[in-house]
């Protein structure tokens, strides 16, 4: 193990008096200084002398600009000043957060479920605000969430952030335990749903006391973590007070394929709010910027649901508006940035999805193509009532309706064949309609029923807003197993044209909108090109 380097010499900075070292990083040290006027303690991040090349200076200055553009948010560390020290080093003066950061806390104590949910909702507002300004954080993790003197979480370290357009070119420098699969690929990609994954992984960590794919007492090298993040299903948190609804929310947010996750961090925050409501906890407001086009924009607090009339403070929602970077907004929520419309959250497609048209096909099972719908330029709006309350027009309650409609093309395969299977899956995504059906059929070998392949056990469903969430178990799980599922009617007939969708998780969701009767699902195990001889079927209710 490489020895930790000593901190650099604290520089002389006009208007500030040095107090002590706070911490050290790869490119900079953070010191505590006393500002002369106004008199207050500030944290000052100083670039190391050896990192004085133009590229590093530019990146450091970019971080200052990025943080300044979002630092008015109550859950983002405030920036006070940025300049050059007497000895020529760049520095960034920011809010001093004296309490232990979340990395220190989860390693030393067990955070309550209520606090973990509150932090997740508050940080979702911070990340959503950054996204609306065109900024992807790319390194959300417990160590980058500080805690103010008043106990409020505050996101920091935008050092490897990028604009949404720049994020198409890659994602370097991220922290492996909280990084999504697409960031760990040979050609890394990063986007809005990469931050969705990392925030969910952070909430998971606060509850589990370990990163999501860390094995207590096992091998937890970076290569081992990369392999598990890329191929293994998300393990349960392992706490008796964590409800199944929260496990499902985190599983959706941390789906292997970006298109299967919540399309925005706001929707993840809404889902966490719904869990708070389910548990009769105080509902945390989501603070978001109202209009990114306006300097000094008002931060608007979004309640748990639009029909919240329980006597609490009524927060005003943003109204519909037009902005050239965001397009026309609907239902009080701005559309996803136009730059993101050219990127399906890190996975390139053969169509420009900046219009209202759907993106390219992700492939099919048995010759039936599937076209995802959650990657168009505006968020999916549902007219169904949320799980609590009635009559409300809602966006993003519970598990996203579009999430399960995206096949998860990164699947669990035996270690000796994973690289080839993943490559084939990537080709299926890129080619889409150009033979995507044949490629995905090739991936499962045509899906021949076989008595040696078990039927999924314990299949059961539960309502979650406008979707039905089903879970099951594999009675004889083997390395490389994954699952195909599709909606069917109560008789078990799905019709030959109904597409199967694939997942490596033991859960799936289907929309309940526009269905006659109870929603039903058919699930089969897929193993080495063979499927369960008898699929499992279950209906809700």
Residue among 255, 206, 260 at smallest CA distance from 234:
255
Asked if residue 141 belongs to a known ligand binding site, the reply is no
C-alpha 484: how far from chain center: 23
Contacts of 183 (CB under 8 A, 6+ apart): 138, 171, 174, 189, 190, 194, 346
Radius of gyration of the chain (CA): 24
Q: Pairing state of beta strands 153-155 and 448-450?
A: unpaired
Which residues partner with 21 through β-bridges? 31
> How far is it, in rounded angstroms, from Cα 291 to Cα 285?
18
Write the DSSP symbol of residue 9: P
Tokens found for residue 406: 């995206």
Contacts of 536 (CB under 8 A, 6+ apart): 455, 456, 457, 459, 472, 522, 523, 524
**To which H or E segment does residue 472 belong?**
strand 467-473
Integer CA distances (angstroms), 433 to 33, 407, 440, 444, 501, in order: 59, 14, 11, 18, 16
The SS3 assignment for 457 reads: strand
Tokens found for residue 271: 């889902």
Write the DSSP symbol of residue 280: T
Tokens found for residue 408: 């998860």
70 with 130: CB under 8 angstroms? yes
Integer CA distances (angstroms), 469 to 75, 303, 395, 400, 520, in order: 32, 24, 17, 10, 10
> How far is it, in rounded angstroms, from Cα 232 to Cα 238?
17
166 with 115: CB under 8 angstroms? no
> How far is it, in rounded angstroms, from Cα 427 to Cα 430?
5
E strands present in 117-161: 135-136, 145-147, 153-155
Residue among 471, 306, 442, 267 at smallest CA distance from 366:
442
Which residues partner with 539 through β-bridges? 520
Question: Binding site, residues?
Answer: 45
Question: Binding site for ATP, residues?
Answer: 45
């Amino acid at each position: 193990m490489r020895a930790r380097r000593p901190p650099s010499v604290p520089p002389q900075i006009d208007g500030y008096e040095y107090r002590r070292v706070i911490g050290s990083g790869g490119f900079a040290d953070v010191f505590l200084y006393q500002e002369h006027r106004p008199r207050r303690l500030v944290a000052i991040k100083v670039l190391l002398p050896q990192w004085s090349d133009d590229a590093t200076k530019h990146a450091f200055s970019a971080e200052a600009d990025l943080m300044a553009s979002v630092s008015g948010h109550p859950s983002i560390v405030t920036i006070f000043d940025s300049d050059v020290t007497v000895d020529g080093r760049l520095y960034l003066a920011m809010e001093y957060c004296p309490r232990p950061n979340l990395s220190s806390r989860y390693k030393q104590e067990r955070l309550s479920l209520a606090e973990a949910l509150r932090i997740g909702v508050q940080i979702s507002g911070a990340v959503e605000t950054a996204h609306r300004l065109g900024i992807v954080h790319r390194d959300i993790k417990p160590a980058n969430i500080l805690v103010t003197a008043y106990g409020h979480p505050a996101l920091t370290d935008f050092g490897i952030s990028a604009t949404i357009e720049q994020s198409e070119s890659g994602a370097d420098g991220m922290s492996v335990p909280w990084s999504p699969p697409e960031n760990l690929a040979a050609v890394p990609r990063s986007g809005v749903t990469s931050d969705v994954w990392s925030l969910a992984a952070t909430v998971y960590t606060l509850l589990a006391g370990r990163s999501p794919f860390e094995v207590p007492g096992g091998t937890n090298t970076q290569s081992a973590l990369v392999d598990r993040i890329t191929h293994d299903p998300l393990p349960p948190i392992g706490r008796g007070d964590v409800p199944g609804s929260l496990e499902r929310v985190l599983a959706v947010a941390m789906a292997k394929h970006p298109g299967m996750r919540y399309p925005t961090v706001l929707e993840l925050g809404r889902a966490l709010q719904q869990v708070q409501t389910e548990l009769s906890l105080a509902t945390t407001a989501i603070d978001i910027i109202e209009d990114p086009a306006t300097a000094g924009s008002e931060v608007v607090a979004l309640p748990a649901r639009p029909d919240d009339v329980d006597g609490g403070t009524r927060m005003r929602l943003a109204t519909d508006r037009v902005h050239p970077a965001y397009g026309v907004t609907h239902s009080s929520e701005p559309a996803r940035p136009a730059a993101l419309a050219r990127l399906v959250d890190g996975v390139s497609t053969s169509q420009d999805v900046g219009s209202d048209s759907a993106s390219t096909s992700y492939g099919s099972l048995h010759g039936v193509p599937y076209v995802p719908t959650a990657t168009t330029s505006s968020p999916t709006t549902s007219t169904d009532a949320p799980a609590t309350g009635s009559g409300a027009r809602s966006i993003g309650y519970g598990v996203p309706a579009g999430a399960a409609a995206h096949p998860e093309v990164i699947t669990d395969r035996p270690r000796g064949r994973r690289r080839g299977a993943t490559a084939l899956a990537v080709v299926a995504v890129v080619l889409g309609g150009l033979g995507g059906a044949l490629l995905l059929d090739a991936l499962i070998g045509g899906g021949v029923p076989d008595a040696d392949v078990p039927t999924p056990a314990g299949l059961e469903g539960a309502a979650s807003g406008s979707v039905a969430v089903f879970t099951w178990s594999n009675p004889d799980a083997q390395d490389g197993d994954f699952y195909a599922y599709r909606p069917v009617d109560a008789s078990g007939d799905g019709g030959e044209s109904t597409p199967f969708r694939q997942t490596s998780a033991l859960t799936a969701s289907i929309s309940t909108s526009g269905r006659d009767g109870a929603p039903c699902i058919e699930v089969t195990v897929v193993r080495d090109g063979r499927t369960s001889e008898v699929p499992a079927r279950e209906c809700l209710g």
